[in-house]
Amino acid sequence: MSTAMNFGTKSFRPRAPDKGSFPLDHFGECKSFKENFMTCLRENRFDNSRCRLQSKEYLECRMDNQLMAKEPLDKLGFKDLMDPPPGRQDQDSDAQV
């Protein structure tokens, strides 16, 4: 569709991903985490908001097995799922999703 000569219409421009490409998991090291995540999705009618914990665990597995660059999880949007620092635990525990 992007090769059609429609000068008036907008075309899609693919953008490179922010953090590049995931290396392939050839040995299936994080397969169990992925299965957890898929099961959670199927149970929750594919609602992503309910399965964020499992996706966080999958990404942590990838980071532990050198399949992803290590990054603090709040940079990946998991700030609300991370353990709050000690001393503020009673304030944040009911603010969790």
Could you list the residues that contact another protein (CB under 8 A)? 1-2, 10-22, 24-26, 28, 30-31, 34, 37-38, 41, 45-49, 52, 55, 58-59, 68, 74-79
Question: In Å, what is the CA distance from 26 to each residue of 21, 23, 29, 32?
Answer: 15, 9, 8, 14
- Shortest reach from residue 65's CB to another protein, in Å: 13
Q: How far apart are CA 73 and CA 78, in angstroms?
A: 6
11 with 35: CB under 8 angstroms?
no
- Shortest reach from residue 95's CB to another protein, in Å: 13
Nearer to another protein, 39 or 89 (CB): 39
- Shortest reach from residue 79's CB to another protein, in Å: 7
Nearer to another protein, 48 or 66 (CB): 48
67 CB neighbour count, 10 Å cutoff: 17
